[in-house]
Amino acid sequence: MSIATVPSYGLRHVSTTRPWLIKTLRFSSTPFASLASEQAEPNTMQSSNNVNKPTSNFPKRGQTVELVCESLAFKGKGLCKVADTGFVVMCDRALPGERFIGRVTRRKGSYAEVTKVETISPHWDLVDAPCEYASYCGGCKTQNLAYEAQLRAKEQQVRDLVIHVGKFSKSELESLEIMKPIVPCDIQFHYRNKMEFSFGPERWVPKELLAEKNEGDKIKNYALGLHAPGFFDKVLNVNKCLLQSEPANMVLVAIQDCWRDVDLGLSPYNVHSHKGFLKHLMLRTGRNLKTGLPELMVNFVTSSYKPELLMPLVERVSAIPEVFSVMNNVNTSVGNTSVGEEEYTLYGKPTITETLRGLTFQISANSFFQTNTRQAEVLYSLIEECAGLRGDGSEIVLDLFCGTGTIGLTLASRVKHVYGYEVVAQAISDAHLNAELNDIRNATFVQGDLNKIDASFGNNFPRPDIVISDPNRPGMHMKLIKFLLKLKVPRIVYVSCNPATCARDLDYLCHGVLYDLIKDVMQAEQNIKGCYKLKSLQPVDMFPHTPHIECVCLLELCDNPS
Ligand SMILES: C[S@@+](CC[C@H](N)C(=O)[O-])C[C@H]1O[C@@H](n2cnc3c(N)ncnc32)[C@H](O)[C@@H]1O
């Protein structure tokens, strides 16, 4: 196979020894492409750096430069240019149109990172951020950017990635109306049904508020809140988060009110010394099926099992009428995750409920469930639209990265059978439970690692008519891409929470994969031709004020896929 024989779609290089090492930089000299390749695979940057190494214009570490922010890019950082040289730098919390002085903190391949020193003129679309923590909390970075401008920036980011990383032409995207306008989120606050707060022994206070710090008062300095941007060990104390539900804020206030009381003998976990009891507070909001009102789960993650220590907190929160469940996940490891090796019910029931597209779901403390339920309704209806089901009950759906089975289950009534695959065992047992709860009998859920499939994977289910693939941020593994390119189902609906890896995978599926025959002669595999056409790409805003972007893509098998 040679590139010349490939009709309208090209081939992309992949090293066989490191299939994820995407050599995007080989094909593009634009700084955006290097940023995008970092999003697609952060670990590849160092090895790819030399390709785009700029020569003379590179500002030095510590140097201050005048900058203009042009757009939002990776992790919501501002993509900025040095005013006189046009050199590209990235700056956290710089917003489109803002002119400012920045100090270079580090060099990253073909660009540099800066921190903002002083704003010369503010960005376009400036609004007041309603949250008191907005200017330094790691959660919402763009609250002071008008929502319409946030949407424009997200849409632009997806378009740029699909062009630079996905290698789709602008004219192709426009003339065939592939790229759709972003779907806004109709509520921009209180949309999250799950928040995780951390306990810490010493609250992090931004420079401008240092005077308010209670120096010398150890207990008053204990923190319960969100991590300071970029730090796993620094916690910003928060009493309210505008992204979670009002009842969840009531719980947070109730706990903040009492957990530092010395008589209770509670201590926050210290991630350095590994001492202390309270690790995290997770709040999940569902919906009571009888009343339609919010129903809450409070989950304390602790380093050991000492229910007697938690009892005063349990009493306080269970007095809030919306609280239906109080759980304790015990995580004895030094790691700081919220999933415990053991789980105990301290009050009420071990799961809460939620409805999505007419179905009922049981949510346990650690099961994955779409975080914005309301917008998940919109997302799932777009997925169903793209799936283009005939509705005669004849089709087979393969639901990859199925989580608790929500997507497949919402399609089940219109198809012959749904086969779901997912790596987390707990999610699979929740999926079975969800099928049972909704009396769905034509769905099979299997636990398995989709990064480790081999050629026999397809023997586990009948040939699908539709594949839904909804991977997490790293996107699809090359083994799965190769499997799909060989399987050649008529349509794939690719749902992505990371437009960079989405663009990369669309490139592979549509344009193919070319193995690096020069470097990896011994392990050279056959090149694989792309065999899909990108029919539509729909960005959806699930998380206002944050950099996250969801996309629903429809891929159709080409006419002559062989
Ligand atoms: C974005 S979530 C999608 C969940 C589900 N489709 C939904 O809408 O609720 C991605 C899911 O992929 C699962 N996952 C991640 N890596 C995986 C792997 N290597 N193999 C199988 N599943 C994986 C995660 O556990 C998670 O449930």
Q: What is the pLDDT of residues 50-60, one digit of tens each?
A: 333 344 567 78
CA–centroid distance, 369 to ligand 1, in Å, is: 10
Q: Do the domain assignments include residue 221?
A: yes
Cα-to-centroid distance, 449 and ligand 1 (Å): 10
Contact (Cβ atoms closer than 8 angstroms) between residue 539 and residue 184: no
User: What is the distance of C-alpha 371 from the center of its chain?
Assistant: 10
Distance of CA 163 to the CA centre of its chain: 21
> For residue 43, is pLDDT > 60?
no
pLDDT digits (tens, 9 = 90+) for 378-420: 999 999 999 999 999 999 999 999 998 999 999 999 999 999 9
Q: Are 115 and 201 members of one domain?
A: no
d(CA 69, CA 149): 14
> Which of 352, 378, 409 marks a domain boundary?
352
Residue among 131, 140, 497, 551 flagged as catalytic: 497
Mean pLDDT for 243-266 is 97
Task: For residue 297, give the CATH number of its domain.
Answer: 2.40.50.1070
At residue 468 the predicted structure's pLDDT band, cuts being 50, 70 and 90, is very high
Q: How far apart are CA 488 and CA 532, in angstroms?
A: 8
pLDDT score for 561:
73
Pocket test for ligand 1, best of 368, 479, 494, 551 (most atoms within 8 A of CB): 368
452 is a domain residue: no
- Do 201 and 118 reside in the same domain of the chain? no
369 in any annotated domain: no
Domain boundary among 72, 103, 124: 124
Q: With contact defined as beta carbons under 8 Å apart, do 479 and 486 qualify?
A: no
Q: Answer yes or no: do 209 and 344 share one domain.
A: yes
Same domain, 205 and 286: yes
Residue 438 pLDDT class (50, 70, 90 cuts): very high
Domain shared by 206 and 346, yes or no: yes
Reply yes or no on whether 553 is catalytic.
no
Is the residue at 519 inside a domain?
no
Residue from 399, 500, 492, 401 nearest 443 by CA:
399
pLDDT in the model for residue 141: 84
Sign of CA dihedral 254, 258, 260, 266: negative
Q: Tell me the sheet residues that pair with 329.
A: 301, 343
Q: Please check whether residue 562 lies inside any domain of the structure.
A: no
Per DSSP bridges, beta strands 443-447 and 417-422 are parallel
Q: Is the separation of the CB atoms in 544 and 188 below 8 Å? A: yes
pLDDT score, position 402: 96
Residue 114: give the domain boundaries.
Answer: 53-124
pLDDT of 15 above 70: no
Does 470 carry a binding-site annotation? Answer: yes
Whether residues 96 and 212 share a domain: the answer is no
Is residue 227 one of the residues assigned to a domain?
yes
Amino acid (one-letter) located at 275: K
Cβ atoms of 235 and 223 within 8 Å: the answer is yes
Give residue 232's pLDDT band: very low, low, confident or very high (50, 70, 90). confident
Residue 68 is encoded by which pair of tokens? Answer: 């203009």
Ligand 1 — pocket residues by CB below 6 A? 368, 370, 401-403, 406-407, 421-424, 427, 449-451, 470-472, 497
Tell whether the model's pLDDT for residue 17 goes beyond 60. no
Residue 243 and residue 337 in one domain: yes
- Residue 245 CA: distances (Å) to CA of 199, 238, 358, 383: 20, 15, 22, 26
At residue 164's C-alpha, the angle toward residues 158 and 170, to 5°, is 75
Whether residue 457 is annotated as binding a ligand: the answer is: no
> For residues 540 and 382, is the Cβ–Cβ distance under 8 A?
yes
> Binning pLDDT at 50, 70 and 90, where does residue 306 land?
very high
Which of 299, 321, 352 is the last residue before a domain boundary?
352
CATH of the domain at 105: 2.40.50.140
- The ipTM of this complex is 0.99
The tally of domains found in the chain comes to 2
Q: What is the pLDDT of residues 502-536, one digit of tens each?
A: 999 999 999 999 876 445 544 455 788 999 999 99
Q: Report residue 179 as tokens.
A: 């790229």
Does some domain include residue 63? yes
Cα of 423 to ligand 1 centre, how many Å? 7
Residue 370, marked binder = yes
Q: Which of 383, 398, 401 to mutate to test the pocket of ligand 1 (most atoms within 8 A of CB)?
A: 401
Asked if 108 and 205 sit in the same domain, the reply is no
Task: List pLDDT tens digits, range 128-177.
Answer: 899 999 888 878 888 989 999 999 999 999 999 999 999 999 999 988 89
Asked whether residue 80 is domain-assigned, the answer is yes
- The model's pLDDT over 319-355, given as tens digits with 9 standing for 90+, comes to 999 999 999 999 999 887 888 889 999 999 999 999 9
Q: What pLDDT was estimated at residue 527? A: 83
Phi and psi at residue 505, to the nearest 5°: -70, -35
